[in-house]
């Protein structure tokens, strides 16, 4: 594999022609500070994305020139707001973003990658094995009972480009311990999504949604932090389930009554 610069100095911008398969962008200077003595492993991850990752369709060829800034460093940046030694479930990890860069930048974290698509799960298992990372991979959807059982409740759930804020909060807060945090990586839409979906966020047990910026330059990212309520009692979604039970009971009773009277 040849090594090329990750910037657009050669005229290959994000919307320009796709670079040759197998080209691996060199790490920008900032990568050494972010990954420290795990920089070589981060370079290996970028090489895996650019080679087999592209072949297996987990990353598009046009992403190659911006793998470091827009994907790997951007993902690691969310580590700025994660507490020491936290347990983390990365929901909808896909190519491993942000979970793999986080595991490399923050070896104190205990990370589980949750992903429903078999092909992506196989990819994640391959990456974790190749890089020798102590990271668990679970196949499933955040809203599924079995996935929730396997992942348990963690200090933090991360998610990048998975779902709109309201739906994401409903799906993922049951994976967060009371008092823990959902850290949703969002683009410029962050504040607008929070405003639009506030009711849904609160109904899911979310409190104190706030928008923060992490990272610098092209690697900077906007993160929405939502706390899971500390209040004990019904789990998020319990109100909706109870309403569903009442509705079904009412439907049954209206179905039954005419039969009884005949």
Ligand X SMILES: C[S@@+](CC[C@H](N)C(=O)[O-])C[C@H]1O[C@@H](n2cnc3c(N)ncnc32)[C@H](O)[C@@H]1O
Among 63, 69, 115, 193, binds ligand X (CB under 6 A): 115
Please name which of 184, 223, 222, 218 lies closest in space to residue 68, comparing C-alpha atoms: 218
When the beta carbons of 117 and 256 are compared against ligand X, the nearer one is 117
94 binds ligand X (CB under 6 A): yes
HSE of 49, CA atoms in CB hemisphere, 13 A = 26
Among 1, 26, 40, 161, binds ligand X (CB under 6 A): 161
Residues contributing to the annotated binding site for S-adenosyl-L-methionine: 92, 97, 142-143, 160
When the beta carbons of 96 and 180 are compared against ligand X, the nearer one is 96
CB of 233 to ligand X, least distance (A): 25
**Phi-psi label, residue 173: left if phi above 0, alpha if psi -120 to 50, beta otherwise:** alpha
d(CA 203, CA 206): 7
Q: Quick one: which segment of 158-166, 193-201, 212-220, 254-262 binds ligand X (CB under 6 A)? A: 158-166
Residues contributing to the annotated binding site: 92, 97, 142-143, 160
When the beta carbons of 118 and 262 are compared against ligand X, the nearer one is 118
φ/ψ (deg, to 5) at 46: -60, -40
Tokens (6 digits) for 144:
């599924």
For 68, other C-beta atoms within 10 Å of its C-beta total 25
When the beta carbons of 12 and 147 are compared against ligand X, the nearer one is 147
68 binds ligand X (CB under 6 A): no
CB of 97 to ligand X, least distance (A): 4
- The DSSP-derived string for 94-129 is TTTTTHHHHHHH-TTSEEEEEE--HHHHHHHHHHHH
45 binds ligand X (CB under 6 A): no
DSSP annotation of 78 reads G
CB of 216 to ligand X, least distance (A): 19
When the beta carbons of 32 and 220 are compared against ligand X, the nearer one is 220
Q: Quick one: which segment of 18-26, 49-57, 155-163, 241-249 binds ligand X (CB under 6 A)? A: 155-163
Among 1, 26, 32, 117, binds ligand X (CB under 6 A): 117
Contact 39, 31 (CB under 8 A): yes
What long-range pairs does 7-15 form, CB within 8 A, spacing at least 24? Answer: 7/65, 8/65, 12/65, 13/65, 14/62, 14/65, 14/66, 14/70, 15/62
Residues of this chain that interact with ligand X (CB under 6 A) are 91-95, 97, 114-117, 120, 141-143, 160-162, 171
């Amino acid at each position: 594999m040849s090594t090329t610069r990750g910037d657009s100095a050669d005229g290959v911008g994000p919307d320009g022609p796709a670079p040759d398969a197998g080209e691996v962008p060199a790490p920008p200077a900032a990568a050494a500070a972010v990954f420290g003595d795990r920089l070589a492993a981060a370079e290996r991850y970028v090489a895996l994305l650019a080679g087999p990752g592209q072949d297996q369709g987990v990353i598009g060829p046009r992403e190659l020139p911006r793998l470091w800034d827009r994907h790997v460093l951007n993902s690691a940046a969310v580590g700025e707001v994660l507490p020491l030694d936290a347990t983390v479930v990365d929901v909808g990890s896909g190519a491993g973003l942000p979970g793999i860069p986080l595991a490399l930048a923050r070896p104190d974290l205990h990370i589980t990658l949750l992903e429903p698509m078999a092909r992506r799960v196989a990819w994640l298992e391959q990456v974790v094995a190749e890089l020798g990372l102590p990271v668990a991979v679970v196949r499933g959807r955040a809203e599924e009972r079995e996935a929730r059982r396997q992942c348990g409740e963690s200090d933090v759930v991360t998610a990048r480009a998975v779902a709109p804020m309201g739906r994401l909060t409903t799906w993922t807060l049951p994976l967060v311990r009371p008092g823990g945090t959902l850290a949703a990586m969002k683009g410029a839409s962050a504040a607008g999504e929070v405003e639009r979906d506030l009711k849904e966020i609160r109904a899911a047990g979310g409190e104190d949604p706030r928008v923060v910026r992490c990272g610098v330059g092209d690697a900077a990212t906007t993160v929405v932090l939502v706390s899971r309520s500390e209040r004990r009692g019904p789990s998020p979604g319990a109100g909706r389930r109870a309403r569903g039970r009442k509705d079904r009971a009412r439907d049954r009773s209206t179905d039954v009554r005419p039969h009884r009277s005949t």
